[in-house]
Amino acid sequence: MFTHNPELKEIFNMSNQRNGDQREALFNAIAAYASNIENLPALLPAVEKIAQKHTSFQIKPEQYNIVGTHLLATLDEMFNPGQGGAGRVGQSLWRTG
């Protein structure tokens, strides 16, 4: 993602990228969302915290698309190794999202 979009390095804490903290935080957030999809009020405190952080960094809508595209491609590669791109997983998530 950073190779194709180096401007995003200004937004992400690169030391958290290197030591795995960012990856762990993202995984934990996705797991919490999946676990509470039927209990959205339980997610509100975490969503508010993330929204405040994104607002303070002045995240733009197109930046969500960049990160989302790379996230889906990563998930797709994990579930469909060697297939390349945002295949079945990415396409089905975009359709349901």
pLDDT (0 to 100) of residue 87: 55
Fold of 1-59: Globin-like (1.10.490)
DSSP string, 42-71: GGHHHHHHHHHHHHHTT--HHHHHHHHHHH
User: What one-letter code names the amino acid at 36?
Assistant: N
Which of 68 and 97 is assigned the larger pLDDT? 68
Start and end residues for every CATH 1.10.490.10 domain found in the chain? 1-59
Per-residue model confidence as pLDDT tens digits over 9-57 = 888 888 888 898 888 888 888 888 889 999 999 999 989 999 999 999 9
C-alpha span between 74 and 69 (Å, rounded): 9
Whether the model clears a pTM of 0.85, i.e. scores above it, the answer is no
CA 16 from chain centre, in angstroms, equals: 15
